[in-house]
């Protein structure tokens, strides 16, 4: 069976790497032949992460994707990550439907809010229902959480499956609870998510350091000093070292702004922490509370003082921290690992 994956990015981007690329070895072992055609290439991503805009790489991306569409009839199944063409009506998806191609479309965030909540009135008017149409034209919608699944249902999707964003247990060992001088509070992400979600936490991050000088923040994915305090270490993200950096953490945090967009997030940071047996402290937004179960696998923070109190509690209560970490790992083993979800993908693609 030949499968065409139309991903949004190469494996350099976390969303495509976790939602698509990590499954390819499992699918190939089951006898499927995978062809992947990303929309954006590595050059685009390098510019994007560096805060640069390169119009020529964007134009090339649209042309490359257009040419790929002429080959779709050669494949038994087509899997689309989010949409075929960003910021263009769902004409390509409609044409696939006309040709009887019951494509599978996968979502790990609320991309529809790029359109229906756009500040640009033209985008909002002409593309507000775009993703609803993509979902309705599809054979199956794969949703990373219930919020996304509910949108698919309201859009008239014929079939909906919930598959969370997961990790590979073979890559995530359990942290050895060794005594160390510093208590490491960790965060991992991109500059974009840092600026939106962690930077607004600057006040309590600095306050926590002043209350306890033995607390250190490790910020993975940011290289330059962002003025979060003296006890902050900024660490460049690399795929090869991300797990080893997480294993240095004692607590992992995931603050989120409370908005409709964040309700579509799949709590991937928390799943990464939990896979290593590290409890999380997280905002009460979206899927966070499904992974960071309050006082079971971590603690939920509702306001600034909660973050300080919860982190100090976990620092000063090692037995409770260890128990929450063990519970978190068990949760990942049960629900949030590729060892569980790979079979589900194989069954969907084999039908």
CATH code where residue 269 lies: 3.40.50.2000
Q: Which of 12-16, 196-200, 207-211, 278-282 has the lowest mean pLDDT?
A: 12-16
Q: Same structural domain for residues 196 and 281?
A: yes
Q: State the pLDDT at residue 180.
A: 77
Q: What is the mean pLDDT of residues 284-294?
A: 96
- Encode 136-165: b = buried (16+ Cβ within 10 Å), e = exposed: bbbbbbbbbbebbbebbeebebeebbebbb
Q: Same structural domain for residues 197 and 293?
A: yes
213 token code pair: 């000088």
Q: Same structural domain for residues 183 and 324?
A: yes
| Count: domains in the chain | 2
Helices and strands in the chain: count of H runs, count of E runs: 17, 12
pLDDT, tens digit (0-9, with 9 covering 90-100), for 5-31: 999 999 999 899 999 999 999 999 999
Tell me the sheet residues that pair with 36.
5
Asked if residue 243 lies in contact with residue 171, where contact means CB atoms within 8 angstroms, the answer is yes
Q: Same structural domain for residues 11 and 159?
A: yes
Q: Same structural domain for residues 178 and 132?
A: no
- Using CA atoms, how far apart are residues 91 and 65, in angstroms rounded to an integer? 14
Q: Same structural domain for residues 222 and 245?
A: yes
pTM: 0.93
Q: What are phi and psi of 188, to 5 degrees?
A: -135, 140
The band of 292, judged by pLDDT with boundaries at 50, 70 and 90, is very high
Domain extent at residue 36? 2-166+338-350
Segment (H or E) for 16: helix 14-19
> What is the percentage of the chain residues whose pLDDT exceeds 90?
91
Asked if residue 254 lies in contact with residue 276, where contact means CB atoms within 8 angstroms, the answer is no
What is the chain's alpha carbon radius of gyration, rounded to the nearest angstrom? Answer: 21
Q: Same structural domain for residues 312 and 342?
A: no
Q: Same structural domain for residues 187 and 234?
A: yes
Q: Same structural domain for residues 215 and 137?
A: no
pLDDT, tens digit (0-9, with 9 covering 90-100), for 109-157: 999 999 999 999 999 999 999 999 999 999 999 999 999 999 999 999 9
Q: Same structural domain for residues 162 and 304?
A: no
Start-to-end Cα distance in the chain = 11
- Using CA atoms, how far apart are residues 328 and 276, in angstroms rounded to an integer? 8
Q: Same structural domain for residues 282 and 342?
A: no
Q: Same structural domain for residues 184 and 301?
A: yes
């Amino acid at each position: 069976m030949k499968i065409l994956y139309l991903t949004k990015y190469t494996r350099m981007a976390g969303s495509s790497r976790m939602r698509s690329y990590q499954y390819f070895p499992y699918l190939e072992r089951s006898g499927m032949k995978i062809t992947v055609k990303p929309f954006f290439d590595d050059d685009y991503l390098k510019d994007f992460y560096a805060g640069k805009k390169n119009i020529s790489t964007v134009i090339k991306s649209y042309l490359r994707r257009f040419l790929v569409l002429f080959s779709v009839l050669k494949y038994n199944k087509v899997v689309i990550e989010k949409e075929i063409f960003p910021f263009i009506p769902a004409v390509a998806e409609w044409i696939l439907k006309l040709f009887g191609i019951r494509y599978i479309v996968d979502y790990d965030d609320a991309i529809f809010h790029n359109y229906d909540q756009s500040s640009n009135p033209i985008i909002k008017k002409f593309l507000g229902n775009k993703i609803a149409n993509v979902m309705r034209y599809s054979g199956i919608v794969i949703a990373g959480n219930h919020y996304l699944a509910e949108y698919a249902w309201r859009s008239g999707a014929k079939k909906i499956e919930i598959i969370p964003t997961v990790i590979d247990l073979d890559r995530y060992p359990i942290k050895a609870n060794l005594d160390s001088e510093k208590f490491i509070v960790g965060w991992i992400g991109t500059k974009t998510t840092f600026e939106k979600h962690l930077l607004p936490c600057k006040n309590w991050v600095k306050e926590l350091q002043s209350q306890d000088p033995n607390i250190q923040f490790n910020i993975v994915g940011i290289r330059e000093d962002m003025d979060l305090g003296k006890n902050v270490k900024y660490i460049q993200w690399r795929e090869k070292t991300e797990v080893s950096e997480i294993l240095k953490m004692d607590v992992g945090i995931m603050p989120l702004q409370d908005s409709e967009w964040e309700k579509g997030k799949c709590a991937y940071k928390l799943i990464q922490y939990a896979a290593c047996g590290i409890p999380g402290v997280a905002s009460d937004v979206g899927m966070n509370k499904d992974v960071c179960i309050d006082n079971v696998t971590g603690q939920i923070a509702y306001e600034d003082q909660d973050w300080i109190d919860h982190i100090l509690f976990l620092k000063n209560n090692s037995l409770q921290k260890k128990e929450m970490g063990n519970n978190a790992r068990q949760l990942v083993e049960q629900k949030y690992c590729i060892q569980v979800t790979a079979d589900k993908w194989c069954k969907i693609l084999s039908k």
